Amino acid sequence: MVLLLLKLIVLALSLHGYETRTQDSPLAFNYYKETCPLAEEIVRRNVEIAVVRDPRTAASLLRLHFHDCFVMGCDASLLLDSYGVMVSEKQAGPNLDSLRGFEVIDEIKYLLEESCPFTVSCADILAMAARDAVALRGGPRWEVLLGRRDSLEASFDGANQFIPAPNSSLETLIYIFKEQGLDVQDLVALSGSHTMGKARCLSFRQRIYDAEFKETHYDKYKRYTTFRRILRSICPESGKDNTVAPLDFMTPARFDNHYFINILQGNGLLGSDNVLVFQDHTGEIVKQVLAYASDEKLFFASFANSIVKMGNINVLTGTQGEIRKNCRFVNT
C-alpha cells in the first residue's frame, strides 16, 4: 500500500512539471518545464530546419552526441574550442575534418540564451538534437532525460583514445564500449547509427585495398567483389581522402534497419561495421544482427534504450560544471 502511494505521488509530481528522476539516473524528465518551457520545441524546430537544408546533418548531429559522450561523459566537452593551454577535442584524430553540425548547435544555443539565459546546457542540446535528428529521418523517438551541465575542460587525449577507429577490431570495440559502461548489446544497437550519413575515403580505404585486412575481415569468403569495386571507383588507392561515400548505399538519408542487412552481406562501409559479423566467434552478435535485420521495430526499441543509457555516461549535474553561454567557450 505504501509503495503504491509513493508511485502515485511521483506520478502526480511529474504531471505538474516537477523533476522526476529514474532510479539509476541523476537526470530528469520535464527538467525545463518551468525554467524554459519552449526549450525542446526550439531545439526540434531548428534541427528540422537544418535537416531540410541538408539531410546529412541528421547523421552529423547524432554523431556529435556519440563523440561527446565517449570522452569524459556527456558534458559538451567536444564543443569547446582550443583556448590557452587547452587543446580542443575537435583537433583529435577521430574528429578533425570529420565532425559536422557545430553551427547548428551554435544557432540553437543562441536562441535558447535569448529565451532563457544560462538555463539550458550545451550537453542537453546535444542529447535533444540527436533525438530529434533520428526521428526526423524516420527513426524512433525517445524521451530524453535532461539536467546535464557543461564541462569546464576538454580532453584531446581522451578523444584520441576512446573514440572507436573505423578499422577497429571487434575485441577493441567491445573493450571501448565496456569502458563506458555499455555492453555488447549496446554496441550492436548503437552501431545501427551507421544506417545514415557518410564517411570519408580516409575512413574505409584500408577496407578495400589492404590485403591483410581483407583476408582478416571478409575476403576469405571470396565474396562482395562488386561492392568493393564500387568503393574503389569512389576512392582511388591514394588521394581524395575527403571524398565521401554513404554508410548505407540503400537508404543513405533514412534511419532504418538496412545497416544490419548490409553487414550480413559484407556490405558495411567501414571495417568496424563488418567485424560485428565476421569476427563474432560466439554467434551471439550475429543472432542480434539477424534479429534487427528482420525486425525494424525491435532495432528501434533497442537503439532508443541504448542511446538513453549512453546519454547518462558520467554526466555533470547539480553544482558540477556550468551552463555555458557560448558552447565553444567556458564562461569567464
What is the SS3 assignment for 29?
Answer: strand
pLDDT band of residue 299 (cuts 50, 70, 90) is very high
Residue count (the chain): 332
What pLDDT score was predicted for residue 226?
80
pTM reported for the whole predicted model = 0.89
Highest mean pLDDT among 24-33, 90-99, 232-241: 90-99
Model confidence pLDDT, tens digit, residues 270-282:
999 999 999 998 9
Would you call 326 helix, strand, or coil by DSSP? strand
Q: What is the mean pLDDT of the chain?
A: 89
* Spatial separation of the C-alpha atoms in residues 149 and 75, rounded to whole Å: 6
CB 166 within 8 A of CB 271: yes
The number of distinct structural domains making up the chain is: 2
- Select the more confidently predicted residue: 121 or 210: 121
pLDDT score of 53 more than 70: yes
Of 133, 111, 121, 144, nearest in space to 49 by CA? 133
Please check whether residues 45 and 180 belong to one and the same domain. Answer: no
244-266: pLDDT as tens digits: 999 999 999 999 999 999 999 98
Who wins on pLDDT, 292 or 208?
292
Beta-bridged to residue 86, according to DSSP, are 83
* Residue 7 located in a structural domain: no
CATH number at residue 139: 1.10.520.10
Residue 293 reports pLDDT greater than 50? yes
pLDDT at site 86: 96
Range of the domain at 219: 170-307
Q: Using one digit for the tens of pLDDT, what is the confidence trace for 147-167?
A: 999 999 999 999 999 999 999
Which of the residues 65, 67, 194, 217 is marked catalytic?
67
Average pLDDT over every residue of 7-35: 60
Q: Is residue 78 part of a domain?
A: yes
| pLDDT of the residue at 215 | 46
| Cβ contact 268:194 at 8 Å | yes
- For residues 31-52, give the mean pLDDT: 97
Q: Are residues 81 and 148 in the same domain?
A: yes
Sign of CA dihedral 255, 22, 13, 111: negative
Given pLDDT bands bounded at 50, 70 and 90, which one contains residue 228? Answer: confident
Tell me, yes or no, whether 106 and 209 share the same domain: no
Residue 25: its pLDDT value, please?
63
Choosing from 143, 162, 181, the residue where a domain stops is 162
User: How many angstroms from the chain centroid is the CA of residue 260?
Assistant: 17
Q: Which of 162, 196, 221 is the last residue of a domain?
A: 162
Q: Which residue has the higher pLDDT, 232 or 325?
A: 325
65 belongs to the catalytic site: no
What integer pLDDT is reported at residue 224 of this predicted model?
52
Determine the pLDDT at residue 5.
42
264-288 b/e with 16+ CB inside 10 Å = b? bebbbbbbbbbbbbbbbeeeebbeb
- Window from 99-113, 212-226, 258-272, 301-315 with minimum mean pLDDT: 212-226
* Residue 331, domain member (yes or no): no
pLDDT on residue 1: 43
- Boundary-marking domain end, from 98, 132, 162: 162
| pLDDT category of residue 332 using cuts at 50, 70 and 90 | confident
70 and 31: one domain?
Answer: yes
Same-domain check for residues 155 and 271? no
In this structure, are 145 and 182 located in the same domain?
no
pLDDT for residue 12 is more than 50:
no
